[in-house]
Amino acid sequence: MSLGATGTPETKPALLAGSNLEKVLRAGHFAVTAELGPPQSADHTAIRNKARYLRDCCDGVNLTDNQTAIVRMSSIASGAILVQEGLDPIIQMVCRDRNRLAMQSDLMGAYALGIRNVLCLTGDHQTFGNHPTAKNVFDIDSIQLVGMVAAMRDRRVFQCGEAMKGQEPRFFVGAAASPFAAPVAFRPYRLGKKVRAGANFIQTQLVYDLEAFETFMETVRKLGVHEQAYILVGVGPLKSPGMAKYMKESVPGILVPDQLIARMNKAGAQWAGKKAEELSKEEKKARSEAWKAEGIKICIELIQKVRAVKGVAGVHIMAIEWEEAVRPIVDGAGLLPRPKMAEAS
Amino acid sequence: MIVAEQKTLDEIKSLLGDARKVLILGCGTCVTVCFSGGEREAAVLASSLRMASQLDGHPRDVTDLTVQRQCEWEYLDTATDRIKDADLVLSIGCGVGVQAIAERFPNAWVVPGLNTKFMGLPTEQGVWTERCAACGDCVLGVTGGVCPIARCSKSLLNGPCGGSEGGHCEINPDVPCGWQLIYDRMEKLGKLEMLMDLQPPKNWQKSRDGGPRKIVREDLRLPHEE
């Protein structure tokens, strides 16, 4: 194992960043992270309210960075609010909106605000979002971003090669993997590149198809990538059969087996055969609750199954605009209480 | 070639202002080959504008002329009299042509009739696609002859993002994923190993980001130009 970049065989390697997430993973616990979408407003209470749902049921919280290219409160500002709330933020940083100057300056600022984890992402193309006429940046790509964040920490240099004089930003560096996006055969190798560039942990795109995920992990293990970075599998509760079908058909890199869609349909079978306008408000609510309960149940089962896959170090729960689902999922998967790590590293 | 397409007639009309004598200047090079600004297009546009001006009640004297290349002054010089005689020159060359006219004829009012789109090639009858972004630092040698700068929507250098599916890009099912094209070619040529190299951040200074670009070839300069 070479999980700590600075370790020697005799001593336990020092923590890279000292984040709660890093400590949990280094201690060998099966980690749980969750996602929090910042608001489309300047309202800090939106973050604090969502944080309540996630407190004590995960080890780190991802703050999305203008996800799907829709403008939201910045991930760093949201992360700083989470620091105030006593949660461990994982700020997402996409390459779409900032060049290397802005990114490095934001990384230093984020560290100064107490943030210790960053997830380096390419970023959805701006044509998806609410500013499709914007100019994109993509000065560097996600792998180069991983390398830049790691070099700022390990070599104390800026991307240009200039030495940093004062405190360097020390982040636990994350990257994403999309196991089922095309070309599928290249995905484990691209993940390998991210780890070679310096990624310490990986969060995957949503996994619903265990068989396909096993195939991906086989190659990942063959490459030894799971021994150089902690792999957290992306899971998420389905809200409705419609959402499952939409993800299957329209979101690149997400495989939803028909059997899961059938389960979601079955959960709402009592109301099937009726058009939406024929259902009363109460019936609609009851149907939605039945779907959600099944979605949470499926998610719990998925966690239990991926936990058994060799090389998996944790799960990343993406309950998009449904943060209250995280606690029952973590609880149902038998992952509560979350480990309490010592303050000092 | 440089690929361009004509602006709408309404936009062109709005650019003409109150000019009475309008010269439509075509170009015999790239825009002729992509059917947007050659001799034929100049003649058709001239007749459309004449007709439109009649209908609008502001008759204009619209004529057309096509030079071999708008992007070189000596070819533009062949049209000097006509350019100087016009109230307005409507260039249907690329953006280089429009600017060459403006530079060569300081007193001429010149407006563009085309939108210059990209450097590319015809991939089938009536279809042109982008191939080169003129980044100034060609990487085709490590990507199997398929450009990730021009053909990946995010200009990624280290492989496909998570938005690649079924061979197409996340932005539009009509857009092929540049990295899928690179991957397929490298696989076919037995060179996939090359894609494992970590490509460092690109030097965009060599691209437009470094400011307007210029090439000086001392070996070709004439003594009096120094």
Residue with the two structure tokens 């490095």: A104
Interface with chain A: mutation pick from B198, B204, B206, highest number of A CBs within 10 Å: B198
Same-domain check for residues B157 and B59: no
Q: Cβ contacts (< 8 Å) between A140 and chain B: which residues?
A: 201-202
Same-domain check for residues B152 and B65: no
- Residue B73: band (very low, low, confident or very high) from pLDDT cuts 50, 70, 90: very high
Q: Cβ contacts (< 8 Å) between B156 and chain A: which residues?
A: 122, 138, 141-142
CB within 8 Å: B164 and A192 = no
CB within 8 Å: B201 and A144 = yes
The reported pLDDT for the residue numbered B143 is 98
User: What stretch of H or E contains B175?
Assistant: strand B172-176
CB within 8 Å: B160 and A139 = no
Residue A69 domain-assigned (yes or no): yes
Same-domain check for residues B108 and B175: no
Look up residue A236 and give its two tokens.
């998420």
CB within 8 Å: A253 and B165 = yes
Tell me what the mean pLDDT of segment B166-183 comes to.
Answer: 96
Residue A14 domain-assigned (yes or no): no
Tell me what the mean pLDDT of segment B52-62 comes to.
Answer: 93
Q: Cβ contacts (< 8 Å) between B160 and chain A: which residues?
A: 181-183, 186, 190
Residue B222 domain-assigned (yes or no): no
Residue B113 domain-assigned (yes or no): yes
Residue B221 domain-assigned (yes or no): no
CB within 8 Å: B163 and A125 = yes
CATH number of residue A216's parent domain: 3.20.20.220
Q: Which domain holds residue A134?
A: 20-240+303-332
Total domain count, chain A? 1
Q: Cβ contacts (< 8 Å) between B182 and chain A: which residues?
A: none
Residue B6 domain-assigned (yes or no): yes
Q: Which domain holds residue B204?
A: 133-210
Distance CA B163, CA B189 (A): 25
What is the ipTM metric for this complex?
A: 0.94
pLDDT tens track for B152-165:
999 999 999 999 99
Residue B127 domain-assigned (yes or no): no
Q: How far apart are the CA of A58 and the nearest CA of chain B, in angstroms?
A: 25
Residue A259 domain-assigned (yes or no): no
Same-domain check for residues B46 and B11: yes
Q: Using an 8 Å CB-CB cutoff, list residues of chain A that contact chain B.
A: 95-96, 100, 122-125, 127-128, 136, 138-144, 147-148, 159, 176, 178, 181-183, 186, 189-190, 192-193, 196-197, 205, 252-253
Residue B217 domain-assigned (yes or no): no
Question: Are A17 and A153 contacting, i.e. CB atoms less than 8 angstroms apart?
Answer: yes
> In whole numbers, what is the pLDDT of chain B averaged over residues?
96
Same-domain check for residues B33 and B86: yes
Same-domain check for residues B80 and B161: no
- Given a cut of 60, whether residue B226 has pLDDT beyond it is no
Residue A203 domain-assigned (yes or no): yes
Same-domain check for residues B186 and B153: yes
Residue B109 domain-assigned (yes or no): yes
Residue B200 domain-assigned (yes or no): yes
Same-domain check for residues B101 and B30: yes
Residue A281 domain-assigned (yes or no): no
Residue of B nearest to A255 (CA): B165
| Among candidate residues A214, A178, A172, the one with its CA nearest the CA of residue A312 | A214
- Residue B224: band (very low, low, confident or very high) from pLDDT cuts 50, 70, 90: confident
Total domain count, chain B? 2
pLDDT tens track for B95-115:
999 999 999 999 999 999 999
Same-domain check for residues B80 and B167: no
Q: Which of A140, A183, A193 sits opposite B201 (nearest CB)?
A: A140
Same-domain check for residues B90 and B159: no
The reported pLDDT for the residue numbered B225 is 53
Residue of A nearest to B159 (CA): A190
Q: How high is the mean pLDDT in each 10-residue block of chain A (345 residues)?
A: 46 88 98 97 98 97 97 98 98 98 98 98 96 97 98 98 97 98 97 98 98 98 98 98 95 95 96 86 94 98 98 97 96 98 70
Residue of A nearest to B168 (CA): A182
Q: Cβ contacts (< 8 Å) between B169 and chain A: which residues?
A: 125
Distance CA B68, CA A128 (A): 42
Q: Cβ contacts (< 8 Å) between B166 and chain A: which residues?
A: 182
CA angle (B119 as vertex; B113, B121 as ends), nearest 5? 105
CB within 8 Å: A178 and B162 = yes
Same-domain check for residues B137 and B170: yes
Chains A & B: contacts with CB separation below 8 Å: 97
Same-domain check for residues B108 and B196: no
Interface with chain B: mutation pick from A92, A120, A125, highest number of B CBs within 10 Å: A125
CATH number of residue B93's parent domain: 3.40.50.2300
The reported pLDDT for the residue numbered A344 is 52
Give the 3-state DSSP-derived string for chain A, with helices as H, strands as E and coil as C.
CCCCCCCCCCCCCCCCCCCHHHHHHHCCCCEEEEEECCCCCCCHHHHHHHHHHHCCCCCEEEECCCHHHCCCCCHHHHHHHHHHCCCCEEEEEECCCCCHHHHHHHHHHHHHCCCCEEEEECCCCHHHCCCCCCCCCCCCCHHHHHHHHHHHHHCCECCCCCECCCCCCCCEEEEEECCCCCCHHHHHHHHHHHHHHCCCEEEEEECCCHHHHHHHHHHHHHHCHHHCCEEEEEECCCCCHHHHHHHHHHCCCCCCCHHHHHHHHHHCHHHCCCCHHHCCHHHHHHHHHHHHHHHHHHHHHHHHHHHCCCCCCEEEECCCCCHHHHHHHHHHCCCCCCCCCCCCC
